[in-house]
């Protein structure tokens, strides 16, 4: 009898598995996927934007010369079929596909590639021709591309050549990032100030409409050169309230959502109509101290702040344990992360002692900035700010919380208006340079700054530049380890947590893969019957 029952059970499980596998194997064409998220995009010109909400849409509309593999950050051909690099690492030559057209019908050629990158040149110069168009090109600036790229040459319509000022280890990975997306030159020029609302790229989906504050609709690109998307349409809906968004998912009026409050994870897991995907993310959430604002110029004060914040309580209480405590800025799954990072232990007495040594026995008053809405690495920014505010108050640092809507928040923080600011970083290319240069190099401490601690250290700068110019991974590693040790010593940040990538969806949503860089790629997603 027992054996019989076991047999039945085994058979039914096998059937379940088989039907599941069949569902996996027989994709369904058509349908509209409704994707719920907390905020609207800021803009849809991939080189202009620096926030994930804009990228989620751009990732499906635009493409780059190269792309990341589905499961990681190794680089694969996309609009380029092949490339070669000179022995000195200074000349990169790319052969382009000859069968690609923009959504408007114009062919993609080397001139379009050159335009897409050249338009961003000199992004920090106030007289940049596109300066008035929603600001400069922040990513180009963060990655210091002005100092990397010397020239873009169009050899023939199918070949483009980049001349570098110095060898750059992450150059190829950087070309797979959003800012290097190839945009339609005619549309970008003709539309000018309106281009960021009327995107034209080469991706598997093309833009349909944008109802501000409500939704953005994209549809399958029928003339796509590569794998045709299963879905007819995707609608990105902005549903600002977390609970409402979750209710939308429960009721089936959206198919998937992000920005999942950790408190809802258990409810999602219990619900049979839903599934939860999770994977370690390549991200970091941090508290930056503005070294240009006193008293944070004083390393003793910064260390005191590091000791005052109870990271374990934050990971447990605000992330429901779906996050690892960050001991440094580079997540453990990124090449170059320090294998044995030292950390500042949670110790209020030590924090008070350090403050006394620094000349603040009574503590001081300051401001703590946070964004108004959730981010993937920070699902509850206001509550997080309140927790840190309480931690700091316990050692005598009285911080007033200041909060802005996302676009404004980024703008102001990048200009260094804050004393303390909460922010996070989602990897673009899985390179340590992408975590360290952007946040800790002195050249990134110029507004609009990625280095919002405004930390400037000559030795760190030297190391980070050497890291960029050393293509050999074995030689790079010690360079990055030393840089991380120095950054730890100087404590411009309190690294808080590395969060899991989470996405909740209805059971019928099939084929969605969480990418370690947090990209939302939807061309292989379908709605199973």
Q: Which is nearer to other proteins, 34 or 143 (CB)?
A: 34
Q: What is the largest CA-CA distance in the chain?
A: 83
Quote the CA–CA distance of 371 and 359 in Å, as a whole number: 31
Supply 402's token pair.
């200041």
Q: Which is nearer to other proteins, 96 or 422 (CB)?
A: 422
Q: What are the beta bridge partners of residue 80?
A: 96
Instruction: Please identify, among the stretches 405-413, 478-486, 490-498, 516-524, the one whose residues bind other proteins according to the rule CB under 8 A.
Output: 405-413
Cα four-point dihedral sign 446, 452, 458, 463: negative
Rule CB under 8 A: is residue 414 a binding residue for other proteins?
yes
Contact 322, 482 (CB under 8 A): no
Rule CB under 8 A: is residue 26 a binding residue for other proteins?
no
Rule CB under 8 A: is residue 212 a binding residue for other proteins?
yes
Instruction: Please identify, among the stretches 205-213, 258-266, 272-280, 327-335, the one whose residues bind other proteins according to the rule CB under 8 A.
Output: 205-213
Q: Which is nearer to other proteins, 341 or 447 (CB)?
A: 447
Burial class (CB in 10 A: 0-12, 13-18, 19+), 35: buried
Distances in Å between the alpha carbon of 93 and those of 5, 80, 86? 64, 10, 9
Report the residue from 159, 198, 215, 333 that binds other proteins according to the rule CB under 8 A.
215
Provide the CA 333 distance to its chain's centre, in angstroms: 15
Quote the CA–CA distance of 287 and 246 in Å, as a whole number: 28
Q: How far is the CB of 232 from other proteins (least distance, A)?
A: 10
Supply 243's token pair.
């609970």
Report the residue from 2, 132, 227, 270 that binds other proteins according to the rule CB under 8 A.
132
Which three-class secondary structure state does DSSP give residue 362?
coil
Q: Which is nearer to other proteins, 212 or 489 (CB)?
A: 212
Q: How far is the CB of 347 from other proteins (least distance, A)?
A: 36
Rule CB under 8 A: is residue 448 a binding residue for other proteins?
yes
Cα four-point dihedral sign 430, 432, 433, 436: positive
Report the residue from 127, 270, 272, 529 that binds other proteins according to the rule CB under 8 A.
127
Cis ω for the linkage preceding 303 (within 30 of 0): no
312: enclosing H helix or E strand: helix 311-319
Q: Which is nearer to other proteins, 477 or 522 (CB)?
A: 522
Which residues neighbour 519 within 8 Å (Cβ) at sequence distance 6 or greater? 55, 56, 59, 68
The pattern of x and - marking residues 232 through 271 that bind other proteins according to CB under 8 A reads -x-x-xxxxx-xx--xx-xx-x------------------
Quote the CA–CA distance of 320 and 416 in Å, as a whole number: 31
397-404 and 364-371 beta bridge pairing = parallel
The pattern of x and - marking residues 355 through 394 that bind other proteins according to CB under 8 A reads -----------------x----------------------
Instruction: Please identify, among the stretches 212-220, 307-315, 456-464, 482-490, the one whose residues bind other proteins according to the rule CB under 8 A.
Output: 212-220
Rule CB under 8 A: is residue 214 a binding residue for other proteins?
yes
* Footprint of other proteins (CB under 8 A): 32, 34, 126-127, 131-132, 134-136, 193, 211-215, 217, 233, 235, 237-241, 243-244, 247-248, 250-251, 253, 372, 403-405, 407-408, 411-412, 414-415, 447-448
């Amino acid at each position: 009898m027992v054996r019989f029952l076991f047999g039945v059970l085994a058979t039914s499980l096998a059937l379940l598995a088989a039907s599941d596998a069949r569902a996996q194997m027989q994709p369904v064409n058509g349908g509209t996927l409704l994707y719920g998220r907390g905020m609207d995009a800021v803009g849809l010109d991939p080189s202009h934007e620096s926030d994930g909400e804009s990228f989620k849409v751009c990732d499906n509309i635009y493409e780059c010369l190269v792309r990341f593999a589905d499961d990681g950050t190794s680089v694969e051909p996309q609009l380029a079929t092949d490339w070669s690099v000179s022995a000195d690492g200074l000349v990169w030559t790319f052969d382009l596909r000859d069968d690609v057209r923009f959504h408007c019908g114009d062919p993609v050629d080397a001139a379009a590639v050159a335009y897409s990158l050249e338009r961003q040149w000199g992004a920090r110069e106030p007289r940049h021709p596109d300066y008035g168009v929603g600001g400069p090109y922040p990513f180009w600036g963060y990655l210091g591309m002005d100092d990397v790229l010397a020239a873009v040459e169009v050899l023939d319509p199918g070949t483009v050549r980049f001349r570098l000022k110095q060898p750059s280890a992450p150059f190829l990975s950087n070309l797979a990032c959003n800012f290097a997306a190839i945009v339609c030159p005619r549309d970008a020029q003709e539309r000018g100030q309106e281009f960021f609302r009327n995107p034209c790229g080469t991706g598997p989906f093309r833009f349909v409409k944008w109802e501000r504050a409500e939704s953005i609709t994209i549809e399958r690109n029928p003339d796509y050169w590569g794998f045709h998307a299963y879905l007819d349409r995707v609608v990105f809906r902005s549903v600002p309230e977390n609970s409402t968004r979750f209710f939308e998912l429960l009721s089936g009026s959206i198919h998937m959502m992000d920005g999942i409050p950790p408190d809802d994870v258990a409810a999602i897991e219990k619900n049979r109509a839903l599934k939860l995907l999770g994977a370690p993310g390549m991200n970091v959430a941090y508290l930056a101290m503005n070294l240009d604002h006193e008293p944070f110029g004083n390393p003793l004060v910064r260390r005191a702040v590091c000791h005052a914040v109870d990271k374990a309580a934050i990971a447990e209480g605000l992330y429901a344990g779906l996050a690892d405590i960050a001991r440094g800025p580079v997540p453990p799954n990124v090449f170059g992360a320090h294998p044995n990072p030292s950390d500042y232990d949670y110790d209020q007495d030590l924090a008070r002692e350090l403050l006394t040594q620094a000349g603040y026995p009574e503590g001081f008053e300051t401001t703590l900035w946070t964004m108004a809405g959730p981010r993937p690495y920070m699902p509850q920014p206001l509550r997080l700010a309140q927790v840190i505010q309480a931690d700091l108050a316990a050692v005598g640092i009285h911080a007033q919380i200041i909060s802005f809507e996302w676009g404004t928040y980024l703008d102001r923080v990048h200009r260094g208006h804050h004393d303390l600011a909460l922010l996070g970083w989602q990897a673009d290319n899985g390179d340590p340079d992408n975590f360290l240069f952007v946040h800790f190099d002195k050249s990134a401490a110029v507004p609009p700054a990625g280095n919002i601690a405004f930390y400037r250290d000559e030795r760190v700068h030297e190391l980070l530049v050497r890291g960029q110019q050393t293509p050999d991974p074995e030689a790079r590693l010690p360079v990055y380890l030393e840089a991380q040790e120095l950054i730890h010593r100087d404590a411009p940040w309190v690294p808080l947590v590395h969060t899991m990538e989470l996405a909740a969806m209805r059971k019928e949503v099939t084929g969605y893969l969480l990418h370690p860089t947090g990209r939302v790629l939807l061309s292989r997603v379908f709605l199973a019957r």
